Each structure stands twice: as C-alpha cells, then as structure tokens.
Amino acid sequence: MNAYDYAVQANGSFALPDACFKVKELMANESSTVEDFANVISLDPSMTSRLLQIANSAIYNFTGEISTISRAITIIGTAAIYNMMLIDVAATAFKHFSNDIVDLKRFWYLSVYSALAAKNLAIKANIPDIERLFVAGLLENFGELLVAKINPEIAKKVDKYHGEYLPWQVQKHLLGFTYTDISAELLKIWQLPERVILPIRHFNEAKSIQINKDVHILYLASRLALIDRFPERFSYDALIDEAFFKRLVITEQDLQQAQKFAQDETHNILTIINAGMF
C-alpha cells in the first residue's frame, strides 16, 4: 500500500460532513451572505457550540464575547470558520476511534501544540492567512490514525521512535512513506486548498528544498511539539536549525514565545475540541 491507498480506504470512515461542503460552496459564491453561512452551521448545535468556544479562546484574543456564529463570521471571516469546522471534524473522528495502538492523549497534544506554535510563528513572520497554518499543524499527522486503523501492527512498530530517530524517519523506514504523506493525500481527497496541503507534504524536507515560508513554519512547529512532549528524548539543540530564523526573519526569542504560547494554550484548546478525553 502507498500513501494514497491508505487515504482512499480511510475516506469512507472519516468523510467531511455535508456542512463543510456547503460552507465551501458558499465561500465560492460572491453573493453569499453572513446569514447564509450562519444558517448552514447552526443546523449542528454541537458544532456551533465548539466553534464559538474556539472563537472566544486565546487563539483569536478578541475583546468582548462572541456570542453568535454570525458575529464570529463577521469578525474572524469565513475562511477561519471553515478551518474551525475542519478542527471539529478531526475531533469527532478521534472520539469515535477505538484502537489502543494510538496514544490519543499524546497524539492530540502534539497536534494541537504544533498547530498553536505554527499560528504564533506565522504571526511573527508576518505571514498572511495564518489560520491555514493552524489547520496544517493540527492535521499533519492524521495519517497515524489511518495506519493504526488499517494496519495496526505496523503502527505499533512505528510508535517505537526515540531520540536517535525522528518519528517520520521511522515511518519512512517501515512504511516507505510518512504519516504526513497520507495526511496530504486525504486532505486532497477532501478538496482542501493546496496552501494547506503543501506544507504538510513537504515540511520534513525543509532542509533540502526551498518552497515557501509555510514549509519552514511547520518544520519548526512540529519539532517544538516533540521537544515539549518528550524532553527526555529530543533536545532543542538537536532539532532546531537556526538557519530557519533568517529565512523567516524571526529571532530565537520569537521561537521561545511561540513555545510559551503553545504550552499555555494547548490544554485549553484540547478541553474545547475534545471534552472528556483529557
């Protein structure tokens, strides 16, 4: 099996809900109104509740309470709302996943931490449309869940990484490709924008290829997440390449601030999007 094969098999189990496709259609229609978007999203009270919680979290840091989807759309924008819907889809998929191969607490922590660090670094690097990098960080390793569901024995072996080898190096050795390759193929099937998929597909190659700043952002964010979760296995000096600071025009202090922001907010976001697991 290759990465695409895993993505195709998994798409039936982890399909996007109709609301995501309807919102995407509305985004493509210039005549769509805020009320059109709100009417589609409000059909799912559970999703509406979580979207409002995320909109009121430190991720957006707005003064005053955002109490309706219409206001959230007006302030945050339709693209951000759509991305938050994808977060909700991911959370729902994990909640219905029953497999002891994947340490869900570890998985979610790394995913959310990477998403938050990517968003914060994007702000510091003056990159526009930063919500796409939050989504890329959150979904970069979705392929792990798919491998664990389809081929649990391989997933169990892949999980035995340590400081000598990075997770994606072990994945490449045992599978012939990485979890991020599967994630990229699934998101392509979901018809997500290429700007979300590209950094997921290439960030592990960021040292050897020059594509864009998004790739460099996700490279740093994913490694910060590993360092935070497994300080006994991975060190800052071993994983962080300071050459990326110059490419992104950021400082080491910026990176440290991104670390602190991700540390402070990861548990809060986990509580919102995956209540009951943590």
Please count the other Cβ atoms lying within 10 Å of the Cβ belonging to residue 268: 16
39-52 pLDDT, tens digit each: 988 887 877 887 78
The span from the CA of 264 to the CA of 250, in Å, is: 21
Q: Distance from first CA to last CA of the chain, Å, rounded?
A: 34
pLDDT, the chain, mean = 84
Q: What is the pLDDT of residue 264?
A: 87
Q: What is the pLDDT of residue 94?
A: 61
Residue tagged 């994606």 (tokens) = 168
Q: What is the pLDDT of residue 220?
A: 94
Q: What is the pLDDT of residue 171?
A: 92
Torsion of CA 6, 94, 268, 68, to 10 degrees: 100
Q: What is the pTM of this model?
A: 0.82
In the chain, the domains with their CATH numbers are: 3-273 (1.10.3210.10)
Cα 109 to chain centroid distance, Å, stands at 11
DSSP-derived 3-state class of residue 109: helix
Strand partners, 162: 165
Burial class of 99 by CB neighbour count within 10 A (0 to 12, 13 to 18, 19+): exposed
107-122 pLDDT, tens digit each: 889 998 999 999 999 9
Residues in the chain: 278
Cβ atoms 271, 240 nearer than 8 A: no
Residue tagged 């990075």 (tokens) = 166
The span from the CA of 119 to the CA of 130, in Å, is: 6
Low-confidence residues of the chain, pLDDT below 50?
276-278
138-156 pLDDT, tens digit each: 889 889 988 888 888 888 8
Strand partners, 26: none
The span from the CA of 268 to the CA of 152, in Å, is: 30
Q: What is the pLDDT of residue 260?
A: 92
Rounded (5°) CA angle 204-210-211: 85
Q: What is the pLDDT of residue 96?
A: 59
Q: What is the pLDDT of residue 14?
A: 65
Q: Which segments of 56-103 does DSSP mark as H helices, in order?
A: 69-76, 78-95
